[in-house]
Each structure stands twice: as C-alpha cells, then as structure tokens.
Amino acid sequence: MMIPLNEPHSFVRLLWPLPRNLVVRMLCFCLVVLLSTTALGQAAQGSETAASTSGQPSAASGPSSRPSAETPAQAPTSPAVLPAGQEAPSPGDAGNIEQNEEQEEEASGDALFSFAEVEKAARKLSRRPYQNPDAQVPGFLLGLNAEQWNKIRFDSGQRLWADVGPFSVDFFHPGFIYNRVVRINVVNQGKSEPLVFSPAMFDYGDEALAAKAAAADLNFAGFRLHFPLHGKDLSEEVASFLGASYYRALGRNSSYGLSARGLALNTALPDGEEFPYFREFWLEKPAPDASVMVLYALMDSPSLTGAFKFTLTPGTSTVMDVESVLFRRKGTPWPRKIGIAPVSSMFLYSEMSNGSRGDYRPEVHNSDGLLYRTADNLWHWRPLTNPERLAVSSFPLENPRGFGLVQRDTDFDHYQDISARFERRGSLWVEPSKTWGPGRLELIEIPSKEDFHDNITVFWVPDASLLTKSGGEEGDSPRDSLRFDYRLYWMTPGVTPHGLGRAVATRIFRSPKNNGRVVFIIDFEGEALKSLPADTGLSSIVETPVEFPALDKHLRKNPVTGGWRLQFSLQLPQQDGVVQSLFAARDGQPRLRVKAVLKRGENLPDPLTEAWVFDVPY
C-alpha cells in the first residue's frame, strides 16, 4: 500500500489499528507527528528548489548536492597546511566525478593560474586510463645517435625572456633517447598560454633533417633555465628538465654530475621499474628583477599521476623547493615501492679499490658517498661501491631530517681527468619540509664498467601504513592521494651540511696472510679533530654483528693531514663449493653492516664525527 508522505493523516489511519493500550497509542501518535513534520519539511524544500531552478530537476541542482566554489569545502588548501604523507583534499563530491570535472572547468575558467590548477589536472588525469606516449616522436629522430642529436641547436636569439630579466629559457628538441614530447605553457600575470613549438626555433645542421622536422607534428622534449650565476654580465645554464621525470641544477663553481627525479617506482624489483614522466610544464614569467623562478609540472605514469611545483633560487648552493601531490590511478593499487625525492649518480671506483686496471685515473665518480641525518639528529656516511651484483641497501629512517649523494673528494690529483673534471661535480641534499612519517632510505648500487651510466640511486620509501586511510589496519582501503614537500640544495662539491668530523677516505683489503680477514682503514678529518693533539684520549666505537667482532682495532693521529685514522679487521666466513655460489647469485651476495664513530669518551653521548656505515659482502 502506498502512503503519500505529505498526508500525515494517512499515517494515523495506518497506525490506529494497533493495540488499544492508551500509552502505546500515545507513543505511536508522537512518532507519527514527528515523521509527518519531517516529511512535510522535505516536501516544502523540494518545492522551493524546483521553483528556483525554473523547472530543472532538483536532485541535480539542489543546494545540498554540491558546495559552491566559494565554500570552504571547495577552496584550494595551501600545500603548507597539510603534513607530508597526508592525503590531499579532493574538491567536490567524489561520487559524481564527471559532474565535478565539468563544474571545476567552468569555475576555474576565469581564475588566476596556481598550483591548485595543476593538482586538478593531475586528479582528473588519474581518473582516466593511462595512454602510452612512446609513439609521439617519429622514427627518423629516434634513429639519431648522440652526436647527431647534439647538432640540433636551439636558436639563442629566440630564447624566452632573454631581454626581460635575469631568467631566460631555451628548449630541447626530441630525438635520440628522448622519445616523448612535453607541452610547455607560459604563465603571465596569472594567465596561462601554450608555447607553440616551431622547427624555426632550431638549427638542424642538416637540410634533409630540417625538411623532415618541418613536415612532422612535433613538440619540445624539455627545457633549460639560464641565470647570471657568477655575475650580471654572464647568463649561464642553472637548471634543466629533460627525459622522463629527470631534472638537475647547479650551484656556483660546480658542474653537472648527478640528477634528481620526480619519482622512482618499483626500482630494483623483479617485475621491472616503472618510469613516470613529466608530460606538461607551466613556466611562470618572473619579474624583471626576480631572484626566484617558479615552474609547475604534471606527471603521468601507468599507476599514478602527480602535480609538482618547483621554486628555484640560484646561488652558491642553488635551492629548489618542491611541492608534490601524487594521485593513485583509478582502479590501480599503489606501486609496491614508491621512491620519494630520488637522486641518481655515477660511481665507478674510488680510493677504496686503488684505481682500476687499464685506466690511468685513480678515481672515477660523480658522487662518493651517501649522507643522511636521522630524526634524532645523528649523521651517517655510507661510502658508495660498484658491486659485482646488484646491491640494495636499506636504512630504517622514520621522519628523516635529510639525505643526499655527496661529492666529498675535490682534489684534482685524485682523478687526473682534464676533460671530465670530476672534482667539480656538485652534490645534492634533500631536506623534508615537514615530517614524512615511518619509512626507510634505500640505496641501490648497480654493477657498471663505464662512466657515462648512472648506476647509483637513493630515495626514501614510505611505509605501507602511509598508503592506507587508517594506517594499515586489516581490510583498510588505500588512499587516493599523498603529499610530500621538500627542499633540494644543489651544493658545491666538498660542502658538507654539518660541522662534525667527516669520513674522507675508506680503504678495504683482504689480509695476504688470511684470505678471510678483511682490513678496514678509515680516515676522519675536520677542524675539531685537527685541533686535538695526538695524546688526546679519543674513543672509537665500532659496531658489528655479534658473530663478527672487530679485531685489532686501533686509532691514531695522522701527522700529515691532522685527522685521525681508524683501523680494524673482521674475520669473515668463506663460501665453500659451487652450491653456495649458486645460492649467492640467486639471492644476492650476503652482507653484514658495520658502523664506526669517534667520541671523546665511550660513555659520552655526543659524537665528534659522523657515523661511518658500510655493508660488507662475504
């Protein structure tokens, strides 16, 4: 039986045949009155809504269906408000995605461009299936070798903003290994306009190649920024964005070596790595006297999308503030491993191996160590290696205060390479802007025999609990978005962001009398150490696994450098037979972790040096 909700007497007629107890009747009557009043109110509200929308269906346009653009629910939230790792706010009703996208586009049509627009674009992109962009560059460009591609020069006379202020931009042409194009927009006074690609911007050095490019549908591969880093009269390259999500920058008196990436996904996993890429950029036009430049990037990948904001401040150490929001692609789980703020570099060999047979250079590397700082303000130094097999080292690091790859050795005599000038390669320090939560630092070292491959990468991996809405409880659903903000310091080589003693050299060799005995020699240097006389009672704290105690330990002053030299040895087990070798090749070579630090006394809490850390293969 149907009962009209706007006729309360119908409720009375229905309920009155209930038991004739007076109290029961009174309770039923009160219930009827309450329900009737609510029903009448809803009916009246629906009538008013229908009247105000001139006959449009009230269910789609009523005031309760979606907050307006002016309400707090729709207002964009500043990235500085949310803790790192927290889910980014999603404007509108998540249940009406298509309506949200349409309304957002209408509402933002006249709005000034901001990072919120890039976040909207990334969120919208995450709701659509991933489209592989690899076929965007024609084969005649991808067939170019490095020398041929480098002959394609951007016309410096068409450099963007060349006559406006200290910052200017030129662009990279697609081809060679750069098989994806990017859209570039210019933001001026809050308005965004696309920058149109033209072959006339480039000198191809080859008429046939120029003719093919003129007939093709192309776009840019990337761009680089120029700034008078060493004086007003000389504008020089200070940063570049080229290839996947790679970018790099320079401080004063340094040259390119390592690179940063927007994100690293599933690196060093058996199923293969996923490479996100920046598909679109927005370059904000700086003022004529600007010392800072802002740019934005939209990231795309099979499993997620991302919005990035970069604020670049060139200087002795060029500073880059990064704001990032990641969106899980609809219907896709988060990747098994998410690497935040990845840094990539090259390491072939150092003083640890006493050179390389067949190479005149004593050392070859863009970075010689990993430096990181824990939440309780302890500094650690891990010398880099070029292992025989892939090596993945993990360091528990909740709420990191910083990490990076450092080129500590700045003595030309240690490299002897006039062309590469490895002693001028810069360092990169990552400093979270807020607490990131539980996670780990992961260092990946890949075997390499050539000095033009990046075989080192390091990044921070958030704990799985940060990827779910309730912190990893059983049956918990995954978050849709994550936010991580951090600051990058592109430092001059040799700079260390702490005043403690530094581990400047590590030498390891096997004892000629006992092949299982490994000897470690570590040189610590620093102003505080140099001022201490040789008879100072310093203590060396060496931590090893219980089954592998440190042997023959002694510490002494180095009269040549003014530093201190620590020496000790470990007795390692030896592999026997082919079976153990096969297991090692399958599972990765077993390693044990050793730590060493210098203090004024064993029971004093404050160290004199950073903690030297090493993973010993055996």
Closest CA to 590 of 562, 618, 564, 610: 618
- Residue 203 dihedral angles phi and psi, to the nearest 5°: -105, 115
pLDDT at 587: 53
d(CA 179, CA 151): 17
- Say which range, 66-80, 491-505, 587-601, has the weakest mean pLDDT: 66-80
For the chain, what is the total number of helices (H) and then of strands (E)?
A: 10, 32
407 and 355 in contact (C-beta within 8 Å)? Answer: no
Q: Does the pLDDT value for residue 511 go beyond 70?
A: yes
pLDDT of residue 357: 81
Q: How far apart are the first and last CA of the chain?
A: 82
pLDDT exceeds cutoff 60 at 53:
no
Contact (Cβ atoms closer than 8 angstroms) between residue 276 and residue 291 = no
| Strand ranges (E), 119-271 | 153-154, 168-172, 183-188, 191-194, 202-203, 222-227, 236-242, 246-249, 259-261, 264-265
In a domain, 103, yes or no: no
Q: Are residues 544 and 485 in the same domain?
A: no
Mean pLDDT value of segment 153-160? 96
**465 Cβ neighbours under 8 A, 6+ residues apart:** 437, 438, 471, 472
Same domain, 270 and 315: yes
Least confident of 90-104, 150-164, 250-264, 317-331: 90-104
Which one has a higher pLDDT value, 139 or 53? 139
Residue-range definition of the domain harbouring residue 17: 1-37
Calpha distance 531→132 (Å, rounded): 60
Please report the pLDDT score of residue 118 as a whole number: 98
Closest C-alpha to 256, from 410, 426, 407, 409: 426
Residue 249 phi, psi dihedral angles, 5° rounding: -150, 170
392 and 247 in one domain? yes
Q: Which two tokens stand for residue 547?
A: 């089954």
Considering the domain boundaries, does residue 401 fall inside one? Answer: yes
CB 395 within 8 A of CB 430: no
Q: Give the residue-averaged pLDDT of 16-25.
A: 41
Residues 191-236: pLDDT tens digits? 999 999 999 999 999 999 999 999 999 999 999 999 999 988 789 9
pLDDT band at 588 (very low <50, low <70, confident <90, very high): low
- Identify whether residues 427 and 405 lie together within a single domain: yes
Decide the pairing of beta strands 277-284 and 183-188: parallel
pLDDT value, residue 617:
86
Q: Which residue has the higher pLDDT, 511 or 184?
A: 184
pLDDT value, residue 91: 34
Which helix (H) or strand (E) segment holds residue 148: the answer is: helix 146-150
Q: Please report which helix (H) or strand (E) contains residue 283, including its range.
A: strand 277-284
Residues 211, 149 contacting (CB under 8 angstroms): no
286, 356: one domain: yes
- Residue 336, in any domain of the structure: yes
The pLDDT > 90 percentage for the chain reads 72
pLDDT mean over 109-125: 92
Query: Looking at the predicted structure, is the pLDDT value of residue 170 above 60?
Result: yes
Is residue 11 scored above 60 in pLDDT? no
502, burial (CB in 10 Å: exposed 0-12, middle 13-18, buried 19+): buried
The per-residue pLDDT for 135 is: 86
**Residue bearing tokens 């859209």:** 183
pLDDT digits (tens, 9 = 90+) for 531-559: 999 999 899 999 999 999 999 999 999 99
**Is residue 175 pLDDT above 70, yes or no?**
yes
- pLDDT tens digits, one per residue of 392-408: 999 999 999 999 999 99
Q: Is 54 left (phi over 0), alpha (psi -120 to 50) or beta?
A: left
pLDDT band for position 589 (cuts 50, 70, 90): low
pLDDT of 510 reads 86
Q: How far is CA 356 from CA 121, 326, 364, 412, 449, in A?
A: 50, 43, 9, 17, 10
* pLDDT of amino acid 100: 52
What pLDDT is stored for residue 79 in this prediction? 29
Tokens of 223: 């761009």
- The answer to whether residues 443 and 520 belong to one domain is no
CA 351 to chain centroid: 30
CA pair distance 333, 472, nearest whole angstrom = 14
Pairing mode of beta strands 481-491, 502-510: unpaired
Can you tell me the distance from the alpha carbon of 553 to that of 569, in angstroms, rounded to the nearest whole number? 7
Indicate which CATH number applies to the domain containing 546: 2.60.40.10
Tell whether 163 and 209 lie within a shared domain: yes
Q: What is the pLDDT of residue 602?
A: 76
Residues 334 and 461 in one domain: yes
Backbone angle region of 122, left / alpha / beta, with phi > 0 → left and psi within -120 to 50 → alpha: alpha
Considering the domain architecture, whether residues 485 and 553 belong to the same structural domain is answered as no
pLDDT at 414: 96
Q: Tell whether 508 and 539 lie within a shared domain.
A: yes
Residue 36 reports pLDDT greater than 90 = no
Taking alpha carbons only, the member of 340, 283, 288, 339 closest to residue 312 is 283
Look at residue 153 in the predicted model and tell me its pLDDT: 97
- Number of structural domains the chain divides into: 3
Q: How confident is the model at residue 460 (pLDDT cuts 50, 70, 90)?
A: very high
The reported pLDDT for the residue numbered 103 is: 57
| 613 within domain boundaries | yes
Are both 412 and 506 inside the same structural domain?
Answer: no
Asked if residue 497 belongs to a domain, the reply is: no
Tokens 């700082």 locate to 373
Confidence of residue 356 (pLDDT cuts 50, 70, 90): confident
CATH number for the domain that contains residue 373: 2.70.98.10
d(CA 326, CA 245): 14
pLDDT (average), residues 287-297: 97
On the question of pLDDT at 361 being above 70, the answer is yes
Question: For residue 56, is it within any domain?
Answer: no
- CA pair distance 385, 77, nearest whole angstrom: 43
Q: Residue 98: is its pLDDT beyond 80?
A: no
Reference 10, options 2, 18, 22; nearest CA is 2
The average confidence (pLDDT) of the chain is 84
Give the mean pLDDT of 431-441: 97
Domain identity same for 586 and 469:
no
Q: Output the CA angle 68-71-74, nearest 5 degrees.
A: 75
Q: Return the axis-axis angle of helices 22-52 and 8-15, rounded to nearest 10°.
A: 150
- Whether 274 is covered by a domain: the verdict is yes
Q: What are phi and psi of 100, to 5 degrees?
A: -60, -50
Residue 357 within any structural domain of the chain: yes
| Percentage, residues of the chain above pLDDT 70 | 79
Inter-axis angle of helices 115-126 and 97-107, nearest 10: 160
Strands, sheet with 551-557, edge to edge from the N-terminal-most edge strand: 502-510, 517-525, 564-571, 551-557
Nearest to 277 by CA among 269, 293, 265: 265
